[in-house]
């Protein structure tokens, strides 16, 4: 693997770090914000969710600037959004201005979930693409861990410690922006826009021995795309569209965001005290980090389908056992640590499979001409479902009980396993043009 490609991928994956940090950092500031501006329950909920609203919109429309301005220029604007959001939220004099800056940060999160995996997939050699795109997901969970640690260290700095918690994000955001000036434009985007010499120059930096072959393959695929509709909803793109939407749908109906957002509440439902519940929640963050790292390192060796098969079986087993524990009220097994232990195992299986694979797989299955639109579709599906699950989980957990709620998640993972076995193609080691040729109807 070229060192330059690794460096470009690491820099671009900083968008994932900021994604994770921005998502988690609000947890340390939300109580102080509610007290400062005397927010009602509805206003407080809106304050927490405003970034998620921005994320959905950023994901929906993130493909447009990626296609029009280029992947690199879009990444720079995303870095600016993160930087302005961090400084603005930290210095916000009033509730309304705070909402605006958190919304801008959400736009950055949504757009980065489209553009960063897209860019990395387009510069990566086929044999290491999974690991390099997987850096994005790894950095998301690393950013979440860093936010929790940062919040812990800054918690008792003073009465305005919440402003420091939010403002510290400006440091990695500025680094992201600066380092992006050493990152070239995607060669596939350059060739797609008729900038042949520039595209070949970047391909030469990636793989000097295969410049002509890679250029020919990309241009041939582009000529074929010229005979096809530019609409993502055209009949020939039906297979990658359905694959992306199904993959993003199953990612969220596993219950992952419900468990991450409401882990302390879930643990308290099983009888754990508040302190033990919070400690168990921190453990979830650590397990998520470790097993995402493992999945990223194995994805190119064993393939996407293998990780998904193993993960799906593990998710079915752990969710089924958690549901059974709620049905039978057997929470005192192993000194009351049965459910926390099962949820740690659940997080491990999720991080190893869905967590490591989702952004890689969606970035691989669309042709060059509609890849940005396809990535935006998969990302926006993911975020819409994340919003639905996060908003409805407390209601269903209260009305239906823990047993029925986790049984539903378990049933969804049975369907995911069937999807993986029956419909999911293996993309390991295949060029982006080769994957598109297999999946697109001519």
Euclidean distance between CA atoms 179 and 11, whole angstroms? 6
- Can you give the pLDDT at residue 85? 97
- The tokens for 38 are 């005397």
Q: Where are the alpha helices (DSSP H) in 37-70?
A: 41-61, 63-68
> Of 123, 158, 183, which residue sits at a domain end?
183
Contacts of 364 (CB under 8 A, 6+ apart): 121, 129, 133, 427, 432, 435
Query: Residue 436: phi, psi to the nearest 5?
Result: -60, -40
Within-domain flag for 217: no
Q: Would you say 262 and 389 are in contact if contact means Cβ atoms under 8 Å apart? A: no
Euclidean distance between CA atoms 136 and 142, whole angstroms? 10
Euclidean distance between CA atoms 439 and 442, whole angstroms? 9
CATH at 40: 1.20.1250.20
Same domain, 258 and 148: no
Q: What angle do CA 103, 141, 106 make, to 5 degrees?
A: 5
Per the structure, the complete domain to which residue 314 belongs is given by 231-442
The pTM score is 0.85
> Of 159, 183, 207, which residue sits at a domain end?
183
Within-domain flag for 198: no
- Can you give the pLDDT at residue 271? 64
Within-domain flag for 206: no
Same domain, 8 and 148: yes
Euclidean distance between CA atoms 73 and 170, whole angstroms? 19
Which residue carries 């295969």 as its tokens? 210
Same domain, 60 and 129: yes
Within-domain flag for 220: no
Euclidean distance between CA atoms 269 and 287, whole angstroms? 21
- Can you give the pLDDT at residue 334? 47
pLDDT tens-digit map of 5-49: 999 999 999 999 999 999 888 878 888 888 999 988 889 888 888
Same domain, 171 and 271: no
Same domain, 178 and 242: no
Domain count, the chain: 2
Which residue carries 């039906």 as its tokens? 238
Within-domain flag for 370: yes
pLDDT averaged per 10 residues, the chain (length 442): 88 95 84 89 84 92 93 97 97 96 95 95 92 94 87 81 94 97 95 92 90 89 66 88 97 87 66 56 81 95 96 97 85 62 92 94 91 93 88 82 92 98 94 87 55
- Can you give the pLDDT at residue 368? 83
Within-domain flag for 215: no
- Can you give the pLDDT at residue 369? 81
Same domain, 62 and 178: yes
Q: Where are the alpha helices (DSSP H) in 92-157?
A: 95-123, 129-154
> Of 126, 153, 183, which residue sits at a domain end?
183
Nearest to 242 by CA among 365, 119, 351, 329: 365
Euclidean distance between CA atoms 337 and 101, whole angstroms? 40
Q: Would you say 343 and 322 are in contact if contact means Cβ atoms under 8 Å apart? A: yes
Radius of gyration of the chain (CA): 22
Euclidean distance between CA atoms 284 and 344, whole angstroms? 6
- Can you give the pLDDT at residue 145? 85
* Residue 22 to residues 15, 58, 88, 96, 145, Cα–Cα distance (Å): 10, 14, 13, 19, 11
Same domain, 55 and 132: yes
Contacts of 33 (CB under 8 A, 6+ apart): 39, 44, 47, 98, 162
Same domain, 169 and 237: no
**DSSP-assigned states of every residue in 185-204:** PPHHHHHHTT-HHHHHHHHH
Same domain, 170 and 252: no
- The tokens for 379 are 């990302």
For residue 74, count CB atoms less than 10 angstroms from its CB and return exposed for 0-12, middle for 13-18, buried for 19 or more.
buried
Contacts of 59 (CB under 8 A, 6+ apart): 110, 111, 113, 114, 376, 379, 380, 382, 383
């Amino acid at each position: 693997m070229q060192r330059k490609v690794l460096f470009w991928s690491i820099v671009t994956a900083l968008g994932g770090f900021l994604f994770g940090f921005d998502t988690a950092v609000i947890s340390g500031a939300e109580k102080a914000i509610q007290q400062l501006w005397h927010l009602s329950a509805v206003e407080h909920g809106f304050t927490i969710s405003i970034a998620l609203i921005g994320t959905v919109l950023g994901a929906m429309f993130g493909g447009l600037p990626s296609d029009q301005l280029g992947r690199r220029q879009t990444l720079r604007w995303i870095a600016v959004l993160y930087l302005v959001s961090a400084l603005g939220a930290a210095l916000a004099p009033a509730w309304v201005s705070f909402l605006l800056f958190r919304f801008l940060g959400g736009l950055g999160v949504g757009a980065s979930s489209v553009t960063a995996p897209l860019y990395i997939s387009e510069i990566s050699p086929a044999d290491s693409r999974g690991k390099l795109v997987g850096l994005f997901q790894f950095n998301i969970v690393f950013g979440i861990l860093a936010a929790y640690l940062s919040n812990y260290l800054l918690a008792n700095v003073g009465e305005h410690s919440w402003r420091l918690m939010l403002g510290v994000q400006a440091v990695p955001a500025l680094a992201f922006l600066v380092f992006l000036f050493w990152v070239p434009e995607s060669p596939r985007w350059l060739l797609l826009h008729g900038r042949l010499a520039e595209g070949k120059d970047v391909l030469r930096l990636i793989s000097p021995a295969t410049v002509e072959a890679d250029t020919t393959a990309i241009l041939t695929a582009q000529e074929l795309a010229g005979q096809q509709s530019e609409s993502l909803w055209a009949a020939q793109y039906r297979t990658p569209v359905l694959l992306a939407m199904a993959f993003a749908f199953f990612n969220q109906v596993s219950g992952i965001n419900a468990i991450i957002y409401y882990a302390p509440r879930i643990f308290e439902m099983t009888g754990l005290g508040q302190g033990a519940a919070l400690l168990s929640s921190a453990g979830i963050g650590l397990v998520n980090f470790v097993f995402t790292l493992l999945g990223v390192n194995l994805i190119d060796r064993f393939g996407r389908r293998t990780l998904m098969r193993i993960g799906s079986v593990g998710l079915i087993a752990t969710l089924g056992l958690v549901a059974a524990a709620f049905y039978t009220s057997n929470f005192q097994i192993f000194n009351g640590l049965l459910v926390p232990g099962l949820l740690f195992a659940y997080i491990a299986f999720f991080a190893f499979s869905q967590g490591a694979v989702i952004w890689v797989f969606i970035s691989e299955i669309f042709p060059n001409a509609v890849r940005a639109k396809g990535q935006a579709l998969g990302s926006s599906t993911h975020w819409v479902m994340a919003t639905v699950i996060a908003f409805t989980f407390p209601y269903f957990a209260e009305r239906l009980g823990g047993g029925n709620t986790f049984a539903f998640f378990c049933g969804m993972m049975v369907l995911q396993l069937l999807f993986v076995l029956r419909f999911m193609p293996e993309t390991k080691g295949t060029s982006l043009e080769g994957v598109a040729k297999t999946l697109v109807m001519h």
